[in-house]
Copies of this chain bind each other. A is one copy, B any other.
Amino acid sequence: MSHPLIDTLRQTVGAAHVLTEGDLTAWEQDWRRRARGKALAVVRPASTQEVAAVVRACAAAGAAIVPQGGNTGLSVGSIPDASGTQVLLSLARMNAVRAVDADNLTLTVEAGAILQNVQDTAEKAGLLFPLSLAAEGSCTIGGNLATNAGGTQVLRYGNARELCLGLEVVTPQGEIWDGLKGLRKDNTGYDLRDLFIGSEGTLGIITAATMKLFPQPAASLTAWAAVPSMEHAVQLLALAHKHLGAGLTGFEVMGRFALSLVARHMPQLRVPFIDQADVPYAVLLENSDSESEDHARARFEALLETAFDAGCVSDAVVAENLAQAHQLWHIRESIPLAQAEEGLNIKHDISVPISRIPAFVDYADALLQREIAGVRLVNFGHLGDGNLHYNVQAPAEGDPKAFLRDEEARVNDLVYEAVAKFGGSFSAEHGVGALKVDKLQQYQSPVALMMMRAIKGALDPQGLMNPQCLLPVAAPQLQPQPQG
């Protein structure tokens, strides 16, 4: 395929790194296979300078750019639209760790570095990079930042945003902003860093970042507690904060039905207390200790004893060793797969204030059961952050495809209306992408949307950066012009 822009891109990054032919599914289809686009070309620059040159070439040609990291997003935010006019800019070749600064507790890494490799690099330096999520073997740090990724350690260490001290960004005009200072305090103007973090590639392209590191804990222990209700889970969380302080690094809640799916489809995983009919929820707790495993165990036992006495835990087990701890986490992380084995389902990623979670769950459970016949609720998530994956499994009877076709929109409306009623967010950690642009218009404050549009217009006046995502702008004018 020939096209003036494609020729320029080939000159910029080398013909081998401009893909226009063959199977481009890996770049053009989203992770959950909900959508597929068609790129004008897939471009794989190797340096920040090459990214800037690509952006300038696209800006000159009026071509839209879709930046892509590991393409593991859950909101269809990193694939081109179907027009065949957009340039897919993959950061995958920019994966160097530029520097590890142990005394400053920072690491500077390029956007295309795989999250797990960043974790490993920190570990080799005797330090901890705490961002951790299911896709860590494939997702990239640039994508984590563009979407402000969350995961299981947010309770203690924060989202990707809170782990980032500085960014390098290519602007929509193809200029390079070097904001990579590894400073913990720097009050010299507007917070551009946090504006780019979570902007989903719509304001510019993150090419590198300086991230915080932490001392490795001396020991991490995992416990599993049966709790009599969601209210008791929230009480247990308060006790755990009080007893463990910053040692509390994980607090996951799992509903009985979610765990029963794991027990049914992965019988080799032994789910604790699943045979006790009076256990509506289980909580997985992680305690990371700077002293020793013995100390971590003693603190855990003191917490659980207090929790028993307070009636907010009915049974509990503390993993005896690392293998048992991994097993417990594996049960938690197997819920999505168990859901898939069970059949089609509707996923949510919502948050409400932690204090309102019990009332929200009561309300939403009753509402859905009343409105949608046979609905089965798969409720689990990061309770310590107020973040639930409040999913809806198709009824056991009937055609699940028909259920999704007929009911998905209504289920979403019911769930999101309930979330709004309890002061929550329709997208806690997965972002908006192209998937939820209508929800953003529906649930975000009009004043906030007005300011967001003003910012988008100010920084990307051509509207070329990931234009179908977050705040969609009209399709650019460029048409494919095959030549020769």
Contact = CB atoms under 8 A, between A and B. Distances in A.
Interface string A167-198: 00001000111110111111111111011011
A310 B29 CA distance: 55
Given A181-B424, A355-B101, A355-B103, A215 B187 contact: no
B290 A184 contact: no
Contacts of A177: 445, 447-448, 451
B184 A242 contact: no
Contacts of A192: 448, 451-452
Contacts of A459: 451, 454-455
A4 interface: no
Contacts of A215: 241-242, 245
A203 B190 CA distance: 10
Contact of A184 (B179, B237, B386): B386
Copies per assembly: 2
A3 to B, nearest CB: 30
A288 B247 CA distance: 12
Given A198-B190, A451-B171, A178 B217 contact: no
A226 interface: no
A243 interface: yes
The size class of the interface chain A forms with chain B is 35 or more
A177 B448 CA distance: 6
A458 interface: yes
Nearest to A354: B104
A305 interface: no
A425 interface: yes
Given A103-B238, A105-B241, A197-B191, A183 B352 contact: yes
A146 to B, nearest CB: 10
A427 B190 contact: no
A465 to B, nearest CB: 13
A286 to B, nearest CB: 14
Given A190-B199, A194-B195, A458-B458, A154 B432 contact: no
Interface string A217-233: 10000000000000000
A154 B187 CA distance: 14
A397 interface: no
A351 interface: yes
A24 interface: no
B454 A458 contact: yes
A61 to B, nearest CB: 22
Given A183-B352, A425-B186, A103 B234 contact: yes
Given A106-B353, A185-B386, A243-B290, 18 more contacts: A105-B241, A147-B187, A183-B386, A183-B424, A185-B382, A185-B387, A186-B425, A186-B427, A187-B427, A187-B432, A188-B444, A190-B199, A190-B470, A191-B194, A217-B245, A245-B288, A451-B459, A454-B458
Contacts of A183: 351-353, 386, 424-425, 428
Interface string A278-292: 000000000011110
A179 B445 contact: yes
Given A183-B352, A299-B291, A427 B188 contact: yes
A351 B187 CA distance: 10
B238 A102 contact: yes
Contacts of A203: 190
Interface string A375-395: 000000010011100000000
A176 B450 CA distance: 12
B242 A351 contact: no
Given A161-B191, A241-B215, A423-B181, A186 B351 contact: yes
Contact of A175 (B245, B426, B447, B470): B447
18 contacts: A102-B238, A104-B386, A147-B187, A158-B162, A159-B185, A179-B445, A181-B424, A182-B423, A183-B428, A184-B387, A189-B440, A190-B199, A194-B194, A214-B241, A246-B246, A291-B299, A454-B458, A455-B458
A148 interface: yes
A443 interface: yes
A142 to B, nearest CB: 16
